[in-house]
Structure 1
Amino acid sequence: MLIATVTLLGASCTHRPIPVATSYATTTQQKMQAAHHWNVLAYDVAKRLKKSVDLTFSKAADKPPLVIKITDEQKKKPFGKAFSNLLTTKLVQQGMLVLSDDTEYAGDHLVIGYDMQVLYHKDRRKTYSPPGLLTALTGGVFFVKQAIDNWQHPGVVAIPFAIAGDIKSAIRYKYPGETNTEVLITTLVTKNQQYIFGDSRIYYINDGDSDHYENLSKTYQVVNK
């Protein structure tokens, strides 16, 4: 009977109707929380685009000018309008020729377009605390206990509370926290309808900031089943 049970358990461990769920290796993802972060993104995209253009068009005389295309809908959104202005500034600072409009230009030019896609997650599984969080907080609790034990020294009491507060602040600074809302920002450059450059970034954003990037009626929901 025991042998049969063990055999049955062994068979159940090697055969399953669906794959076993496993998590990804720990990775990081930045969180957009300020216009400064948009500026950092614009600088990075401009730097990468310049490098790509320099490699594609090695001769200075062959480098075509650039035009940033922004739709009327994008102009209504804080990020859509700001990113166009920031990217224009960063490209000019990189020494690239940027046209305000291509209607009067007869030659070939590069067209820069970008898109923002907001993603809502409705069934996220619980995330775990960052490594070292419990150890750090436990250390803070220990110092608080020491203060209570040495209550006869008033000057000592404030120190552990300050230490615990600093630990908590440092953790929040390092790990601003995941949210259920993300934004996918894609920048594409074409020449005569041929893609020559692409850049896609995914960021966490605060749940209440989705209207910075897209109309609420045009958001996408990602549901895990």
Structure 2
Amino acid sequence: MKKSLIAATAAALLATGCATPFAPAPLATNFQSGKQPKLQAAAHWHTIAGDVAAKLSAAIPANTPLFVNQQANASTFERAFTSQLVTALIEAGHPVMRSPEGALRVGVDTQAVPFAADRPQYRHAGKATALGAGIWVLYDIVEYASNGPAKAALLALGAADAYAWFDSEFAGGGTPAMEIIVTTSVTDASRYVARNTSVYYVDDADQRLYKTPVQSHAKAFQVVGGE
């Protein structure tokens, strides 16, 4: 009887979870899964410049003159992104001026944030499920192939490629160690007129492109002390 009571108590504890009702600090939990783009090419910079221009355009009156400020000590990314933003704003129909007089100022601020390397990345709850779904979807591609060995071969190829097809959305490798916060602001003399902030992953091998020249050439020196 005693053993049965102990077993029942243990089962009840497992059913209600292992967390105690009181703790000295909040328990760490994960955010709900989300997706964040990884910048891997200059074409990606052009894409996000177009996206930023579109979002700013929605908050700026039409035909408002704009002046895009370019920082002197800019990173490779900042120089390219600022130039691409000028192009995107012109394509959106805004007059972009070469001097700030009589225009709203557009400023780009970036912050490269390094995190710990080798952060875990859980892409799928079950890869076999994705493969199974892929077989059915890719079946439509070979539905009209001739019957017999040719069709069987195409179906086998579809099964082999299904996982790669659906997994292509995700960037290769682990979670990047660096992220970049890109904030673009439109201001007049006294207030913010429009503002957009986005966060992106940065390929670890390309971190130098997102650092200012001062950051890129900074060196750390170890001081060996005397008394």
Structure 2: gaps (5+ residues): 135-148, 217-227
- Structure 1 residue 135 displacement after superposition: 3.2
Give TM-score scaled by structure 2 length.
0.69
CA RMSD of aligned residues (A): 3.4
Query: 1:23 offset after TM fit, Å?
Result: 1.4
Cα separation, 2, equivalents of 1:18 and 1:38: 41
The one of 103, 106, 112 equivalent to 1:109 is 103
Q: Secondary structure at the match of 1:72?
A: coil
**Bigger strand share:** 1
Q: How does 1:1-225 map to 2 (within 5 A)?
A: 13-54=20-61, 63=64, 65-74=65-74, 77=76, 79-102=77-100, 105=101, 108-122=102-116, 125-136=119-130, 162-163=157-158, 165-177=160-172, 178-215=175-212, 218=215
TM-score by length of 1: 0.70
Q: In the alignment, residue 83 of structure 1 is paired with which amino acid? A: F
The answer to whether the 8 Å contact 2:180/2:201 transfers is: yes
Aligned amino acid, residue 41 of structure 2: A
- Bigger share in helix: 1
CA displacement, residues 72-110 of structure 1 (integer Å, 9 cap, x when unaligned): 211x51x222212211111111221111223xx3xx321
Q: CA deviation at 1:179?
A: 1.7
Sort the Cα spacing of 1:38 and 1:125 in 2 relative to 1 into closer, same or farther, 3 A.
Answer: closer
Contact residue 133 and residue 171 of structure 1 kept, 8 A? no
The code of the aligned residue for 1:192 comes to: A
Q: Is the 8 A contact 1:181 1:204 kept in 2?
A: yes
How far the C-alpha of 1:111 sits from its partner, in A, is 0.7
* Distance of 1:13 and 1:130 partners within structure 2: 30
Q: Which runs of 5+ in 1 are unaligned?
A: 141-153, 220-225
In structure 2, C-alpha distance between the alignment counterparts of 1:91 and 1:139, rounded to whole Å: 42
Q: Is the 8 A contact 1:184 1:200 kept in 2?
A: yes
Separation of aligned partners in 2, 1:215 and 1:43: 23
Contact 1:116 1:214 in 2 (8 A): no
Aligned to 2:142: none
Aligned residues: 192
- When residues 99 and 31 of structure 1 are mapped into structure 2, their CA distance, relative to the original with a 3 A threshold, is same
**Cα distance between partner residues in 1 of 2:113 and 2:71:** 21
Poorly superposed stretches of 4+, deviation over 3 Å: 9-12, 134-140, 154-165, 215-219
